[in-house]
Amino acid sequence: MGRFSYLTRAVWLLSLISLFTDLASEMLYPVMPLYLQSIGFSVVFIGLLEGVAEAVAGLSKGYFGQWSDRLGRRVPFVRWGYGLSALSKPMLAVLATPAWVLLARTVDRLGKGLRTGARDALLSDETTPTNKGKVFGFHRSVDTLGAVLGPTAALLWLAARPGQFRPLFLWAFVPGVLAVAITLLLRERPAMPSPRPVRPFWASFSYWRVAPPAYRRVVGGLLVFALFNSSDAFLLLLARQRGVSDTGVIGLYILYNAVYVLSAWPLGHLADRLGPRRLLVGGLLAFATVYSGVALAHSGWTFAALFALYGLYAASTEGVAKAWVSNLCAKSDTGAALGTFGGLGSLAALVASVGAGALWQVAGPGWTFGVAAVAAVAVALYLTRLPAKL
C-alpha cells in the first residue's frame, strides 16, 4: 500500500466526485453541438455560447480560488460548485431558446468556477511536490472515466431513440446528484488562511501581480496556447461535416476519452520522473499533429486515429500543467494560483472559441485548425527555452 500512499481518502473522494460530475456533463457534451444545430443554432452562435460559458467559469475561478485561500477553507466551495453544475442539467430540458440555453450553461460554468481552485488546492495539499504529477494524473484519469461512460450512455440512448436529445438532460441529473452526495463525505484539515485580502470579482486575477516570476513565465506561455485552443465542439462538428454519423461522432469522443483515461495516470508518473516541461512540450506537438491532420481528414478511420492521439495530448498536458503550476507558488496561495491559471485559461477559451467560429465561417475549417496547430508549435518552442530550473 505504501507505493500508492499518495492516494489519500480525500484524493479518492475528489476523484469519484469528478467522475460522477463528468459522467453527467459528458452525456451532454458531444450531443450539445448536434442538439444546438437541430434547434437552429449556427456555428458562430455555438462558438459564442461555449466562449461565454467558459468566460463565466474563468472569472469565477480566480475570484473563488483567492476567496478559499483567504478563508483557509476548501470544502464549502467544492460542495456548492458541484451542486450548481448538477442543477444545470435538467434546466436544459425545459426550454430550447437561446437565452435559456445560455443561462443553463452559465449556471454550469459558474459551478465549475466556484469549485475548481478549491478542489485543485485540496489535491495539491494532499501530496508533496515529487508526487503531484501522480496525484493530478490519477484525478484526471478517474475524472475522465466519466467522460467515457457518459458519452457511451448517450450513444446507447440515441441508437435506440435517434434525435431524442432532450430526455438525456434529465437523465444527466442522476449522476450529478450522486456527486453532490459524495461531497458530504469530504473533510479538510485546518489550514492557515492567506494574509492577502480578497479582491473584488472584477479583480479576480490580482494574484498575477504578486505571483513569482517563474509562475508568470510558465502560465503566460500556456495562456498564449489557450488563446488558440478552441472548444472540442469544433472537432466534433468537423467530423460530422465530413460524413461521420451522429453515433460515430459520439464514438470518436468516447475513444478520445478512453485514451485519456488510460494514459493520464502513467503520464503523471512520467512527469514526476522527467519533469512536467517535457510532457507538456510533447503534448503540444501532439495537439499540432491532430489539428493539422483533421483539416485534411475525410475518413472515419483517420478521424479515429487523430482522436486517439488527441487523448494523449490531453493526458500529457491538463493534469501535468496544474502539477507544474502548483509547484511555482506559496502553499497559502495555491487556490489563487490555480484559480488564476484556470480562470485566465477559460477567458482565453472565449477568445479561441469565438475566433474559431468566425474564422470557420469566413475562411473554412482548414484555417481554423491550421492556425491553432502553428500556435501550439510556437508555444512548445517557447517552453523549451525557459530556464532549466523551472
Q: Tell me: the pLDDT tens digits for 10-36? A: 999 999 999 999 888 878 776 776 677
Q: How confident is the model at residue 376 (pLDDT cuts 50, 70, 90)?
A: very high
Mean per-residue pLDDT, 39-55? 70
What is the structure's pLDDT at 196? Answer: 64
Q: Distance of CA 192 to CAs 209, 222, 241, Å?
A: 22, 29, 53
| Cα 70–chain centre separation | 25
Mean per-residue pLDDT, 297-304? 87
What is the structure's pLDDT at 143? Answer: 87
Choice between 274 and 100, residue whose per-residue pLDDT is larger: 274
In tens, the pLDDT along 128-160 reads 888 888 898 899 889 888 878 887 888 788 778
What is the structure's pLDDT at 204? Answer: 60
Which of 330-334, 349-353, 380-384 has the highest mean predicted lDDT (pLDDT)? Answer: 380-384
**All structural domains of the chain:** 2-187+207-384 (1.20.1250.20)
What is the structure's pLDDT at 377? Answer: 97
Q: Is the pLDDT of residue 103 over 90?
A: no
What is the structure's pLDDT at 157? Answer: 82
What is the structure's pLDDT at 293? Answer: 92
Q: What is the pTM (predicted TM-score) of this model?
A: 0.78
Mean per-residue pLDDT, 98-125? 84
Question: Three-class SS string for the chain?
Answer: CHHHCCCCHHHHHHHHHHHHHHHHHHHHCCCHHHHHHHCCCCHHHHHHHHHHHHHHHHHHHHHHHHHHHHHCCCHHHHHHHHHHHHHHHHHCCCCCCHHHHHHHHHHHHHHHHHHHHHHHHHHHHCCCHHHHHHHHHHHHHHHHHHHHHHHHHHHHHHHHCCCCCHHHHHHCHHHHHHHHHHHCCCCCCCCCCCCCCCCCHHHCCCHHHHCCHHHHHHHHHHHHHHCCCCCCHHHHHHHHHCCCCHHHHHHHHHHHHHHHHHHHHHHHHHHHHHCHHHHHHHHHHHHHHHHHHHCCCCCHHHHHHHHHHHHHHHHCCHHHHHHHHHCCCCHHHHHHHHHHHHHHHHHHHHHHHHHHHHHHHHHCHHHHHHHHHHHHHHHHHHHHCCCCCC
Are the C-beta atoms of residues 230 and 355 closer than 8 Å to each other? yes
Mean per-residue pLDDT, 303-332? 90
Q: How confident is the model at residue 1 (pLDDT cuts 50, 70, 90)?
A: very low
